[in-house]
Amino acid sequence: MADVYHVGSLALFLFTGDGATTQLARALDPSHHWEVWTGSSNEVMPYIRRATADVISKVRQSDTQLTDAKHHDFLALLRCLLEPDPSLRGHPRDRAEGVSNGMQRFISRFDVLSASARLGH
């Protein structure tokens, strides 16, 4: 699922100038940072999830050429791609079908969003 995460990180970079890992490192409380955390991944997951949500929320409407509805779709894509728990990362339909690291659904949705931005819809 690392490839899916990296696609999300790249998408985030294109809109904010920083990748997801860089932004996550800044958003996390220092005591929860992966370089110092000594507890389990289950214990730190709520903090990582909150920091990820904070990072995604910084992609504001003014930063894109998308309509409100398409902007909402873009944020939903980022949430699927950047989900901190690898077992929950990716497109929900792919996970339900047992497809690991599925990219086709994301590629299709990014194509639609890209066309919408070019057309101003």
Total of domains in the chain: 1
Alpha-carbon span 7 to 107, nearest angstrom = 10
Instruction: Tell me what pLDDT residue 61 has.
Output: 47
* pLDDT in single tens digits along all 121 residues of the chain: 458 899 999 988 887 889 999 999 999 999 999 999 999 999 999 999 999 999 998 876 445 556 677 778 888 899 999 999 988 888 888 888 887 778 888 888 888 777 776 655 5
The per-residue pLDDT for 62 is 47
Q: What is the DSSP string of 40-103?
A: -HHHHHHHHHHHHHHHHHTS-GGGSS--HHHHHHHHHHHHHHS-SSGGG-S-HHHHHTT-TT--
Taking the CA atoms of 9, 11, 12 and 16 in sequence, report the sign of the dihedral they define: positive
Cβ atoms of 10 and 19 closer than 8 Å: yes
Residue 118 has a CB neighbour count (10 Å cut-off) of 9
pLDDT value at residue 92: 85
pLDDT for 66 equals: 61
Q: What is the span of the domain harbouring residue 50? A: 2-119
For residue 50, give the amino acid letter.
Answer: R
pLDDT at 111: 82
pLDDT the model gives residue 22: 94
